[in-house]
Structure 1
């Protein structure tokens, strides 16, 4: 018989994946909706972006918190160099996605809004990919 193994490792992994799923998936969905929202009007785009932020930022924080929790559970001394490199690059990408997303919320020029949103999305997807490889 196969048994479920619910322990702190499973909870930590679940919460980390949940946080990353909402953060990354939400960005993909919002980016896909922007063209339709622009047809409705700038207030629609702004309203959706603000509501997304209310949901996404707490999940980003959850992902970062559980990522830090993950650090304490990995034996870095026994990890391969490739693990260290992958983790380091992922860490930089997580910082980049958070910073780009925050700057995106502060930008006022349409080209800066678009560029920073794109950077936030691409770095989020790249961090997700590296997270899967870890």
Structure 2
């Protein structure tokens, strides 16, 4: 599974914000909600491009621990297992709660690499999002 990552960006308008799907630097489509834009990305056979940053609980970044956001909404987290039988594997969890049907697929798991764990968070979010 190596589907492309596609960006959603917010376009502010006086009459109401719009969400643009941007592929290879060009606007592919325009939608009234973030969820509708994510559904369009799913229909393209792709996944949303989340923004990733180090997890920080107020005492500085946590080693090998990253959080994903999509336009300011937390959608997932990945972290490297430090001990035990799964040591050096990466755990992932898609934890978005707004307009997401968590029953379509597993929302957490393990991966062999940081990149695969991040891909799973983005892919699962894209598969589960609904426009309500």
User: TM-score, with normalisation over the residues of structure 2?
Assistant: 0.28
Which structure's relative contact order is higher, taking Cα pairs within 8 Å and 6+ residues apart?
A: 1
Larger strand share, 1 or 2: 2
User: TM-score, with normalisation over the residues of structure 1?
Assistant: 0.28
Larger helix share, 1 or 2: 1
